[in-house]
Chain A
C-alpha cells in the first residue's frame, strides 16, 4: 500500500469516527459546561486533537473512551487556563438551571408529571454545581453516557477505587439535594 493510499484510508476511518461519536462528545461537553457554544468549540478542538493523534491510537481502549479522555483533558486545560478567567466570569452564553431543566422528552406524561420531572432535573443540576470538576465528569460519564466503571477508569486515567469514591460522593450530593426537596 502506498503512503497516499494509507493516508486516505486513515482519513476515511477517522471520518467514520467523527460521524459516529461526535454527538456523544458534544453531549458530554454540553452537560459539563451547560453552554452550547463552548460545548461546540470544545467538541471541534477534541476532534482536531484526535485527528492529529489518530496515527498514534493503538486501540488499547475503545475509540469513544479515547475521545472522552481527550475531551476531559481539554475541559480541564480550559478551566486551568488563567487567561480565560475574564471570559469565564463575564460569559453569558451559559444556560441557567431553570432553562436547562426545561428540556424534557415530549412523552405522554401529564403536566403534573412533567413539572415533577422538571423539578427533579433542576435538583440534579443544582447538586452538580456543588461537585468538583472531576466528580462531575465521572457522574456524567456514568449516568448520562452510561459508561461502566472500567471505561470511566480508562477515560479519566484514575484508579477504580478513586472513580467509585468520586461517584459515591456525587450520588450522595444528589441524594442530599433531592432529600432537601422531599
Chain B
C-alpha cells in the first residue's frame, strides 16, 4: 500500500518483540520473493496450462454431450422409422386380410346364390306343367 521505503518502518515498528519483528520481516520478504518469482511464470506458463486443461475438459465434455445427443437423435429416428414401418406392415396386412375376407364373402354369396337358383330350378315347375307333374308323382306309385 505504501512505497517500499516506508514499508519496513511503519508496520513492524509497533512490534516490541525483536524476535517477532524479525520473523515477520523475514516472512514478508519470503512471500514477496516467492510471489515475484512465480507471478511471471504463472502468467506465461502455468495459467495457459490451467486454461488449456479446462479447455480440453470443456471440449471433451461438449463432444461427449454432442455425441450423446446425436446418437440419441439417430436412435430415436431409427426407432420411429421402425415403428412406422411396423405400422405400415400391419395396415397392409389388415388391408390384405380384409380383401381376402371380402373375396371369400363374395365367393360364398355367389355360391349361395347359385345353390339357391339350382334349388329353385330343381323344385319349382312352371305353372303350366304343374298338373303333369302331379300326375307323374301320382303315377310313380303305379309304376
Using a CB–CB cutoff of 8 Å, the interface residues on chain A facing chain B are 23, 26-27, 30-31, 36-37, 39-41, 44, 64, 100-101, 103-105, 117, 120-121, 123-125, 142-148, 151, 171, 174-175, 178, 182
Contacts and interface: CB of A to CB of B under 8 A. Distances in A.
Interface residues of B, number: 33
Interface of B: 1-2, 7, 10-12, 15, 17, 19-20, 22-24, 26-39, 41-43, 46-47, 50
Contact of A37 (B15, B19, B46): B46
B11 A146 contact: yes
B24 to A, nearest CB: 5
Interface residues of B, dominant DSSP = helix
Contacts of B37: 103
A146 to B, nearest CB: 5
A143 B46 contact: no
18 contacts: A23-B35, A23-B36, A26-B39, A30-B34, A36-B38, A36-B46, A37-B42, A40-B42, A103-B37, A104-B26, A105-B32, A121-B27, A124-B23, A124-B24, A142-B11, A144-B31, A151-B1, A178-B23
